Chains A and B, each alone.
Chain A
Amino acid sequence: MLAFTFRRVLVALAVALTVSVASFLLLHLSGDLATAIAGPEATGPQIAQIRQDYGLDQPLLTQFLTWGWRALHLDFGNSFYFRESVIDLLAARLPITLYLGIIALAVALFVAIPLGVVAAVKRDTWIDRTALAVSVLGQAMPSFWFGLTLILIFSVNLRWLPVSGNATWKNFVLPAVALGYYAMPAVMRLTRNGMLEVLASDYVRTARAKGLPPRKILVRHALRNAVIPVIALSAVQFGFMLGGSIVIEAVFSLQGLGQLAWESIARNDFPVVQAIVLVLAMIYIGLTLAADLLNAFLDPRLRQA
C-alpha cells in the first residue's frame, strides 16, 4: 500500500507539472498577450512598453520558470485589472465556488443514490425506466438553459427563491440544483449497476436465506458495498463540477471563481486566468488521487495497477 501510494503521488505531481506547462503554453501560443492587454487602440510603442513591463519580451522558457517558481510560493503576480494580488482574489472567490460545489454534490447524491437503489430493486419496471429516462434527459440538458428555466419557474413565476447574487443560502439552492443535475446521471447509473451486481451475489443470498428483513439486507449488506465506487466517482464529479461552475455562476451572477474566470477572460486578465486554470487542475488532481487511494485501500486487487 505504501509503495502504491508513493507511486500514485509521484504520478500526480508529474501530471500537475505537465498541466501547468500546458496551460502556460496554451495561453502564450494562442495569441500575442501584449497586444491583447493593450487593447485595440494601442500604438506600437505602447505595446512594446507593455511587453517590457510584464516581461513578455523574455524567452518563453525564462517566463515559464519565473512564473512557475512564483506559483510554487503561491505568488501568482498581480491582476492586470484589479491591481490586486491574484492570490487574494482567488482566496476571496474560491470559497463561494467550493460551497456551491459541495451543495450541488449533496443534491446530486441525495437524489441519485436512492433513485439508483430503487431502479435496481425494481429492475425493468416503470420505476427503473423512468429513472433511466431522467438520466438520459440529464445528459442532454444544457446546464445554463436548465438554470435559466429554474429561474423562470421558481423565481419569476412562483417567487420562492431569489434570481441571482450570493447573499443568503437561498441564493445557492437553484445554482446547486442546476449544477448537481449534471452529475446525477453518472452517479445513478453506477449505483444501479453496483446494486444489481451486489444483489446477485452469494452473501446477499445467504442473508436472504437467513431470513433477515429485506430492508436490512438492502441497506446493511448491499448498499454498503455498492456505494464504494460511487464515493470515488463523486470525488471526480466534484472536480468536473468546479470546472463546469463557470457557466452556472454566469447564469446566476454568483461571485465565485467561475465568474471571476469569465470576467478575467473577457478583460484579458491573464495572470488570473492562468492561476484559476492551475488551481482547478490541482484540485481535480488531488481529488482523483484521493479517489484512487480510497479505492485501492478498500479493494486490494487494484493496488497492482
Chain B
Amino acid sequence: MLAALAAPLIAPHDPYAQDVSRRLIPPIWQAKGTWDHVLGTDKLGRDYLSRLLYGGQISLLIGISAALISGLIGTVLGLCAGYFGGWVDSVVSYIVTTRLAMPVVLVALAMAALVGGSLKVVVLVLGFLLWDRFAVVTRAATQQIRNQDFVSAARAAGLTDLRIIRQEILPNIMNALIVVATLEMAHAILLEAALSFLGLGVQPPLPSWGLMIAEGKQYMFFQPWVITIPGVALLLLVLAINLLGDGLRDITAPEARN
C-alpha cells in the first residue's frame, strides 16, 4: 500500500511512455531480463513496475472513494432503521433485501456501459451498489445501544433525534463502521478489477490491474508473468486490507474473535 502511495517518487519510468522497440521484455528473474525494467515491459513497451505502482494508486483511490460513498448511504439507512425502528426499519430492511437480489456485477457492468466506463463512473456505480453490509451492520449496532442509559438520558434532556444520533450513537458505532469500510474497500477493489478486466471499467491508457490482466491475456501462454504479476499484486493488496480489518476488529472488539 505504501509503495502505491509513493508511486510518483519511486517509479523508475513514466507509466505511459511507450517504446515499441522494447516490447514484452521479461522480468529480471528470467534469462533476458534487464535491471532497467525490473518487472519487464508490456506489449507497448511500457515499464511494468511503474504501471503496477500507478495501478495500485488507482485501486486504492477506487476502493476508498467507493467505500466512502457506500458508507454514507449504508450508515444513514442503518442509523434510521436502528434508531427509529418500526415502519422505518421495515422499509430499510425491504430496500436492503431488494438490493441484495440484484446481481451486482451484471448491474454494474450494464450501468458502466451505458454511462461510458471511466474512473468516476466506476467509483459512483460501486458506491451506489455496495452499501448493503454498512446498512445491516449499522442497524444492528444502533439497535444494541439505542436503549442504553446514556441515550435515554440524552433523550430525557430534550436533545433532538439528530443530535442524539450524531453525538451519542455515531461515535459508539464508529469502530464497527471502520471494519466494514475495510471489507468494502477490498470488495470494491476486486469488483473494479473484474469490471476493468471485462473492458467496462477503467479505460486505457490508465494503468488498472484488472486492465493489465486483460491486456496480458493474449500473451499469457508465452509470457505467463504478464498476468501473474498484476494478479499477485491484487491478491496482496486485498489480503492486506482484509487483514487490517481483522486486526482492527480484534483490537476494538476482542470478544468478537472467532
A residues in contact (CB < 8 Å) with B: 11, 14-16, 18-19, 22-23, 26-27, 30-31, 33, 36, 136-137, 139-145, 148-149, 151-152, 156, 193, 196, 242-244, 246-247, 250, 261-262, 265-266, 268, 273, 276-277, 280-281, 284-285, 288
Task: Using A243-B104, A273-B110 as known contacts, say yes or no to A31 and B115 having CB atoms under 8 A apart.
Answer: yes
Chain B residue nearest in CB terms to A277: B106
For residue B251, CB closer than 8 A to chain A, the reply is: no
- With a cutoff of 8 Å between Cβ atoms, the chain A residues found around residue B111 in the complex are 26-27, 30
- A285 & B101 in contact (Cβ 8 Å cutoff): yes
Q: Which of A140, A250, A265 contacts B113 (CB 8 A)?
A: A265
Q: A-facing mask of B88-123, CB < 8 A → 1, else 0?
A: 000000100110111111110111011110000000
For the A-B complex, the count of residue pairs with Cβ-Cβ distances under 8 Å equals 135
> Nearest Cβ in chain B — how far from A300, in angstroms?
22
Given pairs A27-B110, A145-B193, A148-B220, 7 additional interface contacts (CB within 8 A): A142-B193, A142-B210, A144-B194, A145-B227, A145-B234, A149-B228, A276-B106
Q: In the complex the two chains form, is B102's CB within 8 Å of A265's CB? A: no
CA distance A116 to B138 in the complex (A): 29
| B109 with A246: CB separation less than 8 A | yes
* Neighbouring A residues of B228 by C-beta, 8 Å: 149
A243 CA to B157 CA in the complex, in Å?
Answer: 50
Q: Does chain A have a CB within 8 A of B7? A: no
The distance in angstroms between the C-alpha atoms of A146 and B107, with both chains bound, is 23
**Chain B residues near A22 (CB-CB < 8 A):** 98, 102
- Give the distance in Å from the alpha carbon of A193 to the alpha carbon of B257 in the complex: 12
Interface range on chain B (Cβ under 8 Å from partner): 35 or more
**Quick check: A262 and B102 within 8 Å, CB to CB?**
no
B110 neighbours in A (Cβ, 8 Å) = 26-27, 30, 265, 273, 277
